[in-house]
Amino acid sequence: MNLYTCSIDLRNDGVALKFAKALDDWMGHLKSKGVILDWQLYRRKLNLASDSHRDFLLQIAVEDLSMLDQAFFTLGAQDEDVDKLYRAVHDLILNADFGLYRPFPDPERAERMALL
């Protein structure tokens, strides 16, 4: 499993619940299409974080890079419903940073380490 993470600030704090609903609709669509395994949204608590941390953290679980590629392909498809779901989320975001994480040590690396 790999985690695609998104650290997010919204355009307006007053739209947090609207963002959560729009994100639920969008991620639910991606999950129903089988292009993500699962997802979780977190919000900073008590404003306890450094300046480099954004207000929301979204974690999207995918099996591998090919699954992530399929998720991006879904977004790129010429589909009015997909565009509407994506825009409902994207239009509320002011800033976002992204990262891709994998379990460590991964099976491939552990195998190579065992051969040394």
Coil/strand/helix, residue 21? helix
pLDDT tier at 27 (50, 70, 90 boundaries)? very high
Kindly state the average pLDDT of the residues 19-41.
Answer: 97
Indicate the pLDDT class of residue 49, thresholds 50, 70 and 90: confident
- Out of 6-20, 28-42, 46-60, 69-83, the most confident range is 28-42
CA separation for the pair 9, 113 (Å, rounded): 40
Largest CA distance in the chain: 55
- Residue 98 near residue 5 (C-beta atoms within 8 A): yes
Quick one: pLDDT at residue 53?
A: 81
pLDDT classification of 50: cutoffs 50, 70, 90:
confident
pLDDT at position 104 over 60:
yes
Q: What is the DSSP letter of 78?
A: -
Which domains, and CATH codes, for the chain?
2-115 (3.30.70.100)
In this structure, are residues 40 and 59 in contact, taking their beta carbons and an 8 Å threshold? yes
How far apart are alpha carbons 55 and 94 in whole angstroms?
11
pTM of the full structure: 0.86
